[in-house]
Amino acid sequence: MATIDLLTELETSGTCLSAQHGQYTGGHLAHINALITQVNANTTALAGASNPFNYVGTIAAAADFPASPDEGDTYLVTADVIDNDATKTNTGENFLAKSFITWSESAWQDGDGQETGIVSVSSTPYTVAEGVHTVLVDTATIAGPSVVNLPALTAARKGRSITVIDAGSGATTYPIAVTPDGADEIDNVGAAKSIDTNDGALRVTTEGTEWFTGPSEASLVAHAATTDNAHGRVREAVAGIDMVTPAANAGTLPGTAGQAFVPSALVFHCTAGASLNGDVTVSLGTTPGGAELMAAAPLTGLDTAEETFRVALTGVFPAIAGNATFDVSVTIGDTGGGATGTMIAYLEGDLV
């Protein structure tokens, strides 16, 4: 980019804007020449600068981060990376490939240039792309089982969350398998999680080495024993329910008198099973053996430890006190011939 002498250029072009031809003399001419000198200096500086607009370059590894960036320096991240090189900025922040990051005071600001956000899926399988945080599965159009493959886990993915939703209201008939990549796990299990209720959803979050549902059903059961308000949802768990021999199993809600309880779901988690065929019929009530909250409902396929069955509770319920007793009743035991089989049941809802 060449510098210019504006007065010379104008003189040559035939104008009269010069010290010899026109009215710009003395102080006026000095100001104009000073302005031209500054423009020329800035032009020269920009021409010699490798990145005149604060775009500095690319980052693909921790060592690529700068040690002392200037305010506004911007980089393109070309691979999942953690800023954890002790000789560099070393903020500990995680960034995904194709993000633009800008230095601001003492941290990087992530512009996430590849933020695709929400995607709609009408064919299967689908692998979650970079930047996608919500997957809407059109189960009605697919009209068959769907598979949503999670991306491979790396330490740089710490904090990433992905939500998969049945947008076609057909998951009861056409379930969605949310599948971890390779040896990756969801809730400590190397197997897919299934969305098998209409309009159901599953949200997973990672700390870099494993996916967790938010939170895992198994951890909610354990947490319910130590807090009255586990994540605002779980109110009581009943453990050691015999899946083979019909019986009523009572649990006491941990609320207080004067509060009302609004149930939303009943979850069954198989803890042990041998030679079960996975068929058991249960009911839920506010009286022993009662069905005020859920009529006798068959559970199928609950025959292996760590398997979970979730039943959404809908309809009109009787008034339920926050500290009431509820009963989970096994009305028909498993007929697979197994001698033992146990599960935990816990009730989700809210105190109002």
Q: Please give, one letter per residue, the 3-state secondary structure of the chain.
A: CCCCCHHHHHHHCCCCCCCCCCCCCHHHHHHHHHHHHHHHHHHHHHHHCCCCCCEEEEECCHHHCCCCCCCCCEEEECCCEECCCCCCCCCCCEECCCCEEEEECCEEEECCCCCCEEEEECCCCEECCCCEEEEEECHHHHCCCEEEECCCCCHHHCCCEEEEEECCCCCCCCCEEEECCCCCCECCECCCEEECCCCCEEEEEECCCCEEECCCHHHHHHHHCCCCCECCCEEEEEEEEECCCCEEEEEECCCCCCCEEEEEEEEEEEEEECCCCCEEEEEEECCCCCCCCEEEEEEECCCCCCCEEEEECCCCCCCCECCCEEEEEEEECCCCCCCCEEEEEEEEEEEC
Q: Residue 64 — φ and ψ, nearest 5°?
A: -80, -15
For residues 73 and 66, is the Cβ–Cβ distance under 8 A? Answer: yes
For residues 330 and 284, is the Cβ–Cβ distance under 8 A? Answer: no
Spell out the residues 6+ positions from residue 35 whose beta carbon is closer than 8 angstroms to its own: none
- Give which of 91, 199, 212 is closest to 150, Cα–Cα: 212
pLDDT at 87: 95
pLDDT at 39: 56
pLDDT at 62: 92
The answer, as to whether pTM is greater than 0.75, is no
Ranges under pLDDT 70 in the chain: 1-53, 112-117, 155-156, 214-235, 274, 338
For residues 111 and 102, is the Cβ–Cβ distance under 8 A? Answer: yes
